[in-house]
Structures are given as structure tokens and as C-alpha cells.
Structure 1
Amino acid sequence: MAVTVRLLVSFNQIGCVIGKGGQIIQSIRSESGAQIRILKDDHLPSCSLSSNELIQISKEPSIVRKILYQIASRLHDNPSRSQHLFVYVVPIGYSSSGSLMGLTSGAPIMGLAPLVGTYGGYRGDSGD
């Protein structure tokens, strides 16, 4: 079963995920076999800022979880240069049949700490 997760990332942090010439994101794609896309502005949800970028990750849940951890670590190590901008996480999950999965409910999660708490087990989790 495949899931799709979308992350809103500040424009001034997206480079740490993409890397010079796309090397980082391409490496993550190659190692994981996941589909990782940077979506165009017309896909941005209404909760986003005009300066946000939207990353979409699709693969099996355990792989997506590892990729989320990699991206979250990169974002944590490369904080936004603008204090007023946050990393937004819009956890939207779809099964391979296209039906919505309830990964979480309610409003989008803001900040990096809730991301780790929501998906759980990242700290010291070497399994999967």
C-alpha cells in the first residue's frame, strides 16, 4: 500500500532538501525508490504562504517515514533565515487506490517538533 505525504517548506530552506543541482533530492529518490516531487504554486493549500514550496512524497509508509525523517533532519540543521516563517506539515495520506487515509485529523501541524511527535519513533529508531 502506497501513501502520499505533502510538506510545506519555507522557500529559503528548500535548497537544503534539493541540494546543489538537485543532488540531495535525487540521492534520496535513488536510495528509496520513492516518488518525490516539488509541486507548482497551483497545488499550494490555502494555509500556505506565498513563499512556501510544496514537497510531495509517495511510497510505502515505512519508506515515506524514513524520508520524512531525512527531510526533517535537514530542515532542523538548516533553520529558516526568516524568524517569522515556519515549516508547515500538511499530512495528507492516500492509499494506492486514491482514497484518503486518516494519518491525522484537524488543522495542519506547524513546526518541526510536532512532525516528529506525529509520526513517532524517529529518535533512536533504527528499524524499518
Structure 2
Amino acid sequence: MPPCRAHQHRQPPAPPPPRCTRQKGSMTVLAATVIAALAVAGCAVLVAAAARTAAHTAAVAADMAALSGAGALWQGIAPCAVATTIAADNGARLTGCTVTVGGDVTVTVTVGHMPATATAGPA
């Protein structure tokens, strides 16, 4: 049986069109840019969280130091010495301590570069 003529004249399939080479590697650049942006955003969040934690720690240390200083004053103990110890125990450094004639103790502490001030005394 002779071969079918329809098969004798069939052309091979055309090759696919050439790929555009101008964008070769552009997804790598895009992926690197996205990763870098996410890393910068992550670092910003960490810095903000650290600052917030330091501010909170400073506020708590100032409150505790002022209350302890006021309590020490009423017991006849040097209030600023007690406030210094309490501030250090709470991770802060006492940078200022004043005692008024009325018995109020005002302290200023710092944690890192975050300052906080608190006053305690008789109500």
C-alpha cells in the first residue's frame, strides 16, 4: 500500500520564536530587592521595639526608685542612696534625685538613652 500523500508533504513544526534576552536575570534582581526591603523593614521593627522596651523599663525603674526613696525618707534613711540601689536593681542608672521640704522624692533615671522621671511622697 502506497503512503498517504497527505503525510508526504507535511512540514516539520516551526521552531519557537527566540526568547527576549534583555530581561534575563530580572527576576533575580526583583527577588533581591524584595528581600532587602523586607530585611530593612524587619530591622526597623526591631529598633522600634527595643526603644519601646527601654522607655517602659525606664518608667518602671523611675517609679520604683521614687517610691523606695520616699519610703526610705520616712524611715530616716538617705532616700537618694536607696533610690540609686533600686534603680540599678531595675536595670537603670539614677541621673538625678531631689527631695523637697514636703517629703517628695523626685528621681530621674536612664535606660540606655531613654530618660524617665517620677515623683513620690506623702499624699
TM-score calculated relative to the size of structure 1: 0.24
Relative to the length of structure 2, the TM-score reads: 0.25
| Structure number with larger C-alpha Rg | 2
Which of the pair is proportionally richer in strand? Answer: 1
Larger RCO, structure (CA 8 Å, separation 6 or more): 1
Q: Name the structure with the higher helix share.
A: 2
